Amino acid sequence: MNRIAMAACRKLKDSEGDYLWQPPINAAKDDSPTLMGFPIVEDQSMPNVGLDGFLVAFGPSVTTPAKGEDSTVLEELKLLRQQLETGEPDGGSLRIHSATGYDQQAQANVRAIVGDAERLIESLKEERDQLRSVINHASPKLLDYAEEINELKAQVEKLTALLSDAAAHVLPADTYLLDRITDALAETGA
């Protein structure tokens, strides 16, 4: 909830006159304050008091990473704007499932989530298609490179064989010449 809603929530009491807002148990550990046992997180993107829509959303939630940012998905919406304006809980509980506008708001929220999901799916499909296109264009080139590499390997093998053959023919000739030179030097006494 946003800061203004947090201030309004601090005034809420149950049917016995006890405050529903509880300060953090251990402020040194950065604990959050609680409302009916649920941790409160300040979020300025939530609506202000007096605006239409859900003012406070709390309940069991799951936080998931999405494109480098954490996104919190609530399993249940429990508190409506009208409760903060009147300050009256419904029968000692903050759950209101039959309040006017709840179904429409829930449907609007679902439509928004579905719309976001559809846009994300389309975006992922576009990325998939782009990757397929890159792979399809790269594959023939990679095959050409592989063929060139195989041809170069064959040429290296041929050159290696030729050098080995040449070494077999050249070394005995060099040895023969070296022996002849050594003998000639020995005869001259040098």
| Residue 120, both tokens | 């994300």
pLDDT band at 141 (very low <50, low <70, confident <90, very high): confident
* Mean pLDDT along residues 68-89: 47
Task: Please check whether residue 18 is in contact with residue 37, taking contact to mean a CB–CB distance below 8 angstroms.
Answer: no
Judge residue 96's burial from the number of C-beta atoms within 10 Å of its C-beta, 0-12 exposed, 13-18 middle, 19 or more buried: middle
| Residue 106, both tokens | 């829930």
* Mean pLDDT along residues 2-24: 80
Query: How confident is the prediction for the chain on average, in pLDDT?
Result: 66
Domain spans of the chain, in order of start:
3-100
* Mean pLDDT along residues 84-112: 48
Judge residue 58's burial from the number of C-beta atoms within 10 Å of its C-beta, 0-12 exposed, 13-18 middle, 19 or more buried: buried
Cα-based torsion angle of the residue sequence 19, 42, 28, 24 in order, rounded to the nearest 10 degrees: 10
* Mean pLDDT along residues 78-88: 48
In this predicted structure, the answer to whether residue 153 has a pLDDT above a threshold of 70 is: yes
